[in-house]
Amino acid sequence: MESFLKKFFPGLLKTTRRASKDVYCMYNDQALTAFTSSLYAFGMVGTLVASRVTRRVGRKTIMVIGGSMFLVGSLVNAAAANLAMLIVGRMLLGLGLGFSGQATPVYLAEMSPPRWRGGFISAFPLFISVGYLVANLINYGTSRIPEWGWRLSLGLAAVPAAVMVLGAVLITDTPSSLVLRGKHDHARAALQRVRGKGVDVDAEFSDILAAVEHDRRNQEGAFRRILRREYRPYLVMAVAFPVFLNLTGVTVSAFFSPILFRTIGFGSDAALMGAIILGLMNIGGIIASGVAMDRYGRKLLFAIGGALMFTCQVAMASIAGTHLGHGSKMPKGYAVAVLVLTCVFSASFSWSWGALYWTIPGEIYPVEVRSAGQGTAVALNLGLNFVQAQCFLAMLCSLKYGVFLFYAFWLVVMTAFAMALVPETKGVPLDSMGHVFARHWYWGRFVKDHKFGNEST
């Protein structure tokens, strides 16, 4: 939004209006990237802090704290008088992201009925995409309000934040979390409340008690345990998935898509509309993935998504290299082609890595290293988000259209990794997942079948 740039980045706004400026470098401003990337840096801090205290205070309290930080951060941003105040608001939003992002998926998994748990997990990235779409619709509408439209855009984040705080206050904590803190009576009451009056919860509550006791025996030293040789596949997955997720290039295209579209020649409103279209494509890709995942398997999604994303990145590099140069804007027809390619890329990502990033890690970790695996993956993902957000505009300025080829190269690497080293988990019960790794052509040298009980499964 030009009113936003005029208020906080006036020098950058003047630069973008100079036709002689290299179009790849016109938005290369460290203050602008700090505004975006500060959210991820403090999101990583929030995740690490929340993972340390959630066992003592419960999932509900962590979500209340996260929502409260969102609420305060959005109000600070809306009232920002200078860049420092703006970045402080982003830091608070980042802490809220870390706290809620750590607790909310766990809360959903622990509260959902077992037969619907897969649906809850796959719905999580879907609703993230819905929120992203709503945010871009708000940006598109408020961009038409001169001078103070950006304040309304940032301040409206207080609405979902308030809903989150109020909702977290009203709901019960999870039975597993309550048992961990020794509140067995409260835990049973909470389980009865969510399953409904008259429903027999004895068997499920006994399973929760047994699982929590097993978790309590194995929780201490989980980070040390995952470093052992027999857990090597899970450590590799905990690192590889967030690394490859960021190297698809989707994080930067999602958060810098309006800037990217303006770089190739779209106006401000058209660039924001392009970001809205990307949001719709994300939702479509995730819905299609949810339908296909348990029918055709995970590997097919990786293969199709990887091939389409690679093709889009190479095509965008070719168009940008030919039709976008120093002091020029891309012809309209080619700019539309880039928009179409970006949409196909976005849908292909959501179909593959976007959905499977949440599904596969949620399936594979043994209970004794689950906290270490999930904590490592979430913190590493947010840390890499920070690095990407801080470096992307400088990369765009330095590599120019080669930035698309950079991501295309990594798409080849990650697709080969997924096809060769990520086991197919379609239809495999959670308690039999260890057998899949034990019988894998490579991971079998680390994981032994006898560790996972009945070998006839």
pLDDT tens for 88-122 read 999 999 999 889 888 887 787 778 776 666 667 77
pTM of the model as a whole: 0.75
Q: Which residue has the higher pLDDT, 347 or 451?
A: 347
Give me the pLDDT at residue 170, please.
92
Query: Please, which residues have CB within 8 angstroms of residue 89's CB and are 6 or more apart in sequence?
Result: 73, 74, 75, 76, 77, 80, 154
| Residues 9/31, Cβ–Cβ less than 8 Å | yes
Of all residues in the chain, the percent with pLDDT exceeding 90 is 24
Give me the pLDDT at residue 215, please.
65
The CATH code for residues 1-10+27-171+218-446 is 1.20.1250.20
Q: Which residue has the higher pLDDT, 360 or 212?
A: 360
Structure tokens at 393: 């505009």
Lowest mean pLDDT among 238-242, 309-313, 396-400, 436-440: 396-400
Give me the pLDDT at residue 457, please.
34
pLDDT of residue 5 exceeding 90, the answer is: no
Give me the pLDDT at residue 450, please.
47
Confidence category of residue 214, pLDDT binned at 50, 70, 90: low
Give me the pLDDT at residue 75, please.
96
Structure tokens at 81: 């008088």
pLDDT of residue 278 exceeding 60, the answer is: yes
- pLDDT tens digit sequence for 139-186: 888 988 888 999 999 999 999 999 999 999 999 888 888 888 888 888
**pLDDT, mean of residues 126-136:** 85
Confidence category of residue 259, pLDDT binned at 50, 70, 90: low
- SS3 assignment, position 21: coil
Confidence category of residue 361, pLDDT binned at 50, 70, 90: confident
Question: Domain limits of the chain?
Answer: 1-10+27-171+218-446
Whole-number average pLDDT of the chain = 82
pLDDT of residue 427 exceeding 80, the answer is: no
Q: Which residue has the higher pLDDT, 19 or 431?
A: 431
User: Which of 296, 257, 259, 293 minimizes the C-alpha distance to 277?
Assistant: 257
pLDDT of residue 265 exceeding 70, the answer is: no
**Tell me, what amino acid is at 268?**
S
